[in-house]
Structure formats: C-alpha cells, structure tokens
Amino acid sequence: MAVYDPKSLKAEEFINDEEIRATLEYAEANKNNVELIDRILEKARPVKKGNGCTCAGLTHREAAVLLACEIPEKIEKMFEIAEEIKLAFYGNRIVIFAPLYLSNYCVNGCLYCPYHLKNKHIARRKLTQEEVKAEVIALQDMGHKRLAIEAGEDPVHNPIEYILDCIHTIYGVHHKNGDIRRVNVNIAATTVENYRKLKEAGIGTYILFQETYHKESYERLHPTGPKHDYNYHTEAMDRAMEGGIDDVGLGVLFGLEMYKYEFTGLIMHAEHLEAVHGVGPHTISVPRVKPADDIDPDEFDNGIDDETFIKIAACIRLAVPYTGMIISTRETAEVRAKMLRVGISQVSGASRTSVGGYTEEERPHDTEQFDVSDQRTLDEVVSWLMDSGHIPSFCTACYRAGRTGDRFMSLCKSGQILNCCHPNALMTLAEYLEDYASPETREKGYAMIRDELKKIPSDKVREIAEQNLKDIRESNRRDFRF
Ligand code: SAM
C-alpha cells in the first residue's frame, strides 16, 4: 500500500488515495465545526506585508473542510475572502487568450472526448503550416496575443516535431500590428526530452488536465491508448519541470468523478509541486464536461451545479492564492461573471474548438471538441469585462522578461504588481483599442485607462506608461512592457 508523501515522485504517493479518503472523512466530520472553519477562514485572509501582501494558503485538509461546509454565511465569507485575495494579487485585470486546435487525430480512447479513436464519424483534420498561418492571422485580426494550442495524441499525425513546427509558425506570423507573444501548450503527457524541446521553442505554460485524480475511474475513463497509464499522466508535471518548464497548468475535468475527491487531489498536486520544485502550479483550470459529438455529459454521474462549481473555485482561490485561475468558453457568460468574482484571472474569448475554425465564416461543428457556451465576439467579451470593472489584459510580459516560476510568484507577493502588471494591462488594452475595437469599446476602454492610470503608485512608472500610451495612439508603436 502506497504511503502519502508530498515529496515523492511517485503518483500514488503524492496523490494518495488513502490520504484523500481520510481528508474527506475529516472534512465531513468537521463541516459544522464553526470554530475550526473560522480559524481556517482567518488563515486564508491576505495580510499586509511591507508594500505588498502575503497569504498563507491552506492545506488540502483545511481546504476540504471549507468545501464540505454548507453553512450559508460561511460560504458567503469564503466568497468574500476569495475576492479579497484575487484583488490583492491579481487586481482587477483579466488576462485574455484563445485556444487554437491544431489536430484532432488521436489514438486514445477517452470516454468523454469526441476525439477518441473509435469515433469514426467525426471529421479528422490536422492543420498544415499554411493553415496554421491563416488561423493565426484570423486570431490576430480579432486582437489575440496569447494562445493555448491544443492537439489530440497521435505519434504519427501529431508528433512533437509537428507541434514544434506549429509553435515556430505561430511566433513567426506578424500580420499588420498583430503578434502572438505567448503560446501555451495543452498536449498529452510526454517525455522529459520533449518537454525540453517545448521549452526551447519558447512556450509559456505547459497545461495538462488530470481529468480525474481517482485512479480506478481514470483507468476506466481512459480504457485504451497511452493516456491509460495513470502514473505516467500524473507524473507529467514533474517531467515537464525537469525539462526546464517553470510554468505548469493543472486542471480537473469536473463531472467525471466526485468533486470533493477531485478537489482534494488537485490541492495535493499543487502541494506536491511546491514541495518538490519550490513552486506551485502557474495556473489551475476548471473545465466541466460538455456535450460534444457522440458525448452526452449525463452519462457521467458526477455533474455539478453552478453553485457548487463557484464554491469550488472560491476554495481553490483560498487554498492556492498565487496561482492563476482559468475559465473557458465551456461556461456561459452568466457563470463566467460569477466566477470572475471568486478568483478567476484568465478567460478565453471568441473561442472555436474545431480544427481550422477561425478561418471559417460560420462556427463549424464537424471537428469541434465540445460545444461552446459563450459564443460572443472578442469585442463583446472585452466590453463586458470593462462593464463589470475588469481591465481586459493582453499582457504577455512576465515570461518574456524571465519572470516565470518562483520569480513570477515573488512579483505577485511583492506589491509591485501595480507598478508592473497594471500598466502592462493598460498598454496592451490600448493596443487592442487602437487596432481591433469597435468605436464604443474604444471609447469605454480609453475612459477606463484614464481612471486606472491614477492607481499606479510610482510617479516615474506612471509617466513612462503615459508616454507609451501616447506612442501607441499617435505613433503606431507597439509592444511596450515593464
Ligand atoms: N490530448 C491532450 C490530452 O489528452 O491532454 C490535449 C488536451 S484536449 C485537446 C483538452 C482538454 O479538453 C482535455 O484535457 C479534456 O479535459 C477536455 N475535454 C475533452 N472532452 C471534453 C468535453 N466533452 N467537454 C469538456 N472538456 C473536454
């Protein structure tokens, strides 16, 4: 029997079934223990330190108690603190990205994904480099600067060389004032050597969803193909970090297994990365299973309602305060709005989940990975974010300035964000307003920039930002950053 050890490199020791079960029992036993809950909430709260703030975060046991608690005023408190943490470390900026589907060829048998090998009626497609270029131009013409590339697992159709070629192509496209400045990668678990190649190709975050932390369910849900190997999949982030990738993104596909089990596994995974590599995950994604070609989410028994979903996000925010949180267009605008309040820091916008979808006039469905709930244009998403007081940010500065891994985390804690990320968000927003926005969004955006500039504490930084904004507007100059 495997023994729990967050520092171990063996999947079954750092994501330990026995420890998860003991945690769930502890949480259930303490879900009405108001004294303990108050202590945990107090621990989670941000505390002022020098110019910045610190947050203690929570252990997986503490976080599980909060998730189990059903007392309405305590849940309200969780939401309040989640928002406080988010404002302390991420401010009111929301980073925007889009997924780019390269290929839906896949040799795996994932029961929830329409790309599975046995699906014979989905159209299979893989972009040529010319098509990648065309897709990137379409994405740049919307205003995107940051992509997450997605592909099925297929050593013949999508080997690592293909993925590397695509990354090279994407970074090489400069259409009008367009530029893709950060490519995050969401591809199947691979070898240290391949992770090293991805790092050398200049990727941002390596993203891999665990899907489920429950080993037995994992094996049942992935009956065939290389992804069937639970340990290989679960240990992927350690190999990625060994290959030199500092920023890794975790995620669970909610709906497959019991959410409390998944949540505990997710927090344990974050603790493991911190314990072994000295830095936790850069991001956590919270996808829910969606309908798709030959996939009916109701076939999985563990769907969660919106309220529980939002509570999960708040508890993640409290447990891992410095980790970015991502929500995709799998969710409706309404759910996304609520999630923004409890800690989300990145959203996708105007996404198409089909291979080659951005160059089609109409949203194509024949190669789509899942139904997109939020189908608004990027301009609509940008405008909507501003209406709710958020600054849409197209910033990609951190990793380009070498602020990855623990260096990003220390910036987060230092209180320098208002002198750094904040002006970067405003400058990239101005680029968007100049090059891609509708007249109404442009007007709204500049009003926001004028107000937000006042919040920059350093006179020197504010003056430089103002000059840069003037150069963006009047001299067509681009890509300033602190
Ligand atoms: N093939 C790679 C892998 O196995 O990790 C890349 C990821 S796939 C293109 C992106 C993610 O989409 C998967 O990890 C899964 O969590 C999610 N996904 C698959 N089917 C889905 C569905 N029906 N609804 C929502 N998300 C889904």
Name the average pLDDT for the chain: 95
Rounded Cα gap, residues 122 and 294, in angstroms: 9
Q: pLDDT at position 334, please?
A: 95
47-49 and 52-54 strand pairing: antiparallel
Q: What is the mean pLDDT of residues 326-333?
A: 95
Give every CB contact of residue 382 below 8 A, 6+ residues apart in sequence. Answer: 96, 143, 349, 392, 432, 437, 441, 445
Torsion of CA 381, 352, 288, 394, to 10 degrees: -40
For the chain, give the percent of residues with pLDDT over 70.
100
Contact 232, 226 (CB under 8 A): yes
pLDDT of amino acid 403: 87
> In this predicted model, which residue has the larger pLDDT, 169 or 418?
169
Q: Find out whether 90 and 324 touch, Cβ atoms under 8 Å.
A: yes
Residue 288 Cα to ligand 1 middle (Å): 10
Confidence band of 363 (pLDDT split at 50, 70, 90): confident
Are 160 and 102 in contact by the 8 Å Cβ rule? The answer is no
**Segment 127-136 mean pLDDT:** 98
- 113 CA distance to ligand 1 centroid (A)? 6
Is the pLDDT confidence value at 462 over 90? Answer: yes
pLDDT of residue 194: 98
Question: Distance, CA 222 to ligand 1 centroid (Å)?
Answer: 12
- pLDDT above 70 for 34: yes
Q: Are 326 and 405 in contact (CB under 8 A)?
A: no
Residue 316 has pLDDT above 80, yes or no: yes
Of ligand 1's atoms, which has the minimum distance to the CA of residue 101? Answer: 9
Hey, what amino acid is at 342? V
- The model's pTM is 0.97
Q: Which of 286, 292, 436, 284 is nearest to 353 (CA)?
A: 292
Residue ranges lining ligand 1, Cβ < 6 Å: 112-113, 150, 152-153, 186-188, 208-209, 211, 227, 253, 287, 289-290, 292, 295, 330, 369-370
Strands 52-54 and 324-327 turn out to be unpaired
Model confidence at 405, in pLDDT bands (50, 70, 90)? confident
- Cα distance between residue 129 and residue 2, in whole Å: 46
For residue 400, give the H/E element and its range: helix 397-400
Work out the average pLDDT over 440-458. 96
Say how far apart CA 405 and CA 277 lie, in whole Å: 9
Residue 192 pLDDT exceeds 90: yes
Phi, psi of 130 (to 5 degrees): -65, -40
Q: What is the pLDDT of residue 371?
A: 87
With bands split at pLDDT 50, 70 and 90, how would you rate the model's confidence at 415? low
Q: Which of these, 254, 278, 233, 286, lies nearest to 108 by C-alpha position? A: 233
Is residue 19 scored above 90 in pLDDT? yes
Is residue 284 classed as helix, strand or coil in its secondary structure? strand
Pairing of strands 283-285, 324-327: parallel
